Amino acid sequence: MTMAASRLLRSALAAATEDQLVIDLSGVSATYRALTGELPGVRVRFAVKACPVDEVLAALAADGAGFDAASPNEIRQALRTGVPAGRIHYGNTIKSDRDIAAAHRLGVRDFATDSEADVRAIARHAPGARVFCRLATSGAGALWGLSEKFGCTTGEAVAALCSAREHGLTPAGLSLHVGSQQMSARAWDDAFAALAVTVRALDARGVRLDHVNLGGGLPAAGYLDRRGRALTPRTGRMLATIRAGMRRLREIAPAPLAFVVEPGRYLVAEHGAIRAHVVRLTRRRHRDGGDRHWLYLSCGRFNGLYETDQLRYRLEFPDHRTGRLVAAVVAGPTCDSDDIVADRASVPRELRSGDPVWIFATGAYSLSYATRGFNGFDPLPYRAVRDTPVLAGCAGSRAS
């Protein structure tokens, strides 16, 4: 899908009488199948943080996916789908001794790392485990660069993986992340260049890797930029760049290399939409002396729309498909001045309190980022739908 939601998603939104997030499981599965068709033979490990919904994880597990988990709780949730622990890796480079030990007890044997201190901790608390080292990237071209907190240089990666070998671990792979919602194919070219340098450096030290984890970063369509224009990622070009990069890397690797990807928002963002409602459309004096319309919605930054720091969501008002529009600031319901969803959007002039609003491309991170009750506003419940049957549930719990 691009800017158009599926008929199933629209039907579920139209049927909803209360605020909720609706997730189209059929769409998620279709996108997974399309991705594995574009990258044949590549193992998919869904980033649980993007949409930690039991039904989503179960659907992806049934399709053949594994999981990228960032904590023991995410590992436990992934295991509840019935996938073997071998299809789950601990992808967070930041983890306590206690959490390393917990993951090991749960059966996880693949751990991300980016420092020798972390390698020593894994050796103590997950003896015999496999480690893959995360390289740093610039994050250029992504909406969220992820370039400061994670990753290391080639020299540091070589030192970490050699240390892993000395401590009885298996130095199994390399990983990286080109940044969340990456919009440039060049980022993948740069990533493969860094991987090639590091593979050669490890080969010189006698370290033979068995896999490379290309992380997440594949962008979702359906978003708007901060000016309200459609974001149009060139995903086809990115996938072609990835295929070419994998071929080049296999040619220089001293041993056969498998590849892993960790898509998150790419699989789920377009297949979720929020049914919210209008709190109030009002006109207020602005500090510049003029008047400005403000549209307050029942859902804002603290109810799941946190990512409006970098993007905008497409709004639709199903009860007002025609009529005069006005420019308005769109904001959430809380008494926090940061709770702004859009600086300017065209909205129907005749909106009334209680009118429904549909917010699209909210399948990624909306549940993850929602507060547990800031200002007393409850987290959104969710409803997971597929062609048949329909499942219903509450956020964070399995549907009945």
Catalytic residues: 335
Q: Are 222 and 2 in contact (CB under 8 A)?
A: yes
**How many angstroms separate the CA atoms of 20 and 370, rounded?**
12
**How many angstroms separate the CA atoms of 358 and 14, rounded?**
9
Largest Cα separation within the chain, whole Å, is: 71
* 308, 311, 317, 321: CA torsion to nearest 10: 160
Q: Tell me the three state secondary structure of residue 277.
A: strand
**Type of residue at 169:** L
In the block, residue with structure tokens 């003896």: 127
What DSSP designation does 86 have? G
Beta-bridge mates of residue 384 = 23
Q: Which of 238, 175, 176 is nearest to 210 (CA)?
A: 175
In the block, residue with structure tokens 């970098």: 310
In the block, residue with structure tokens 């009750």: 373
Decide: residue 285, CB within 10 A, 0-12 exposed, 13-18 middle, 19+ buried: exposed
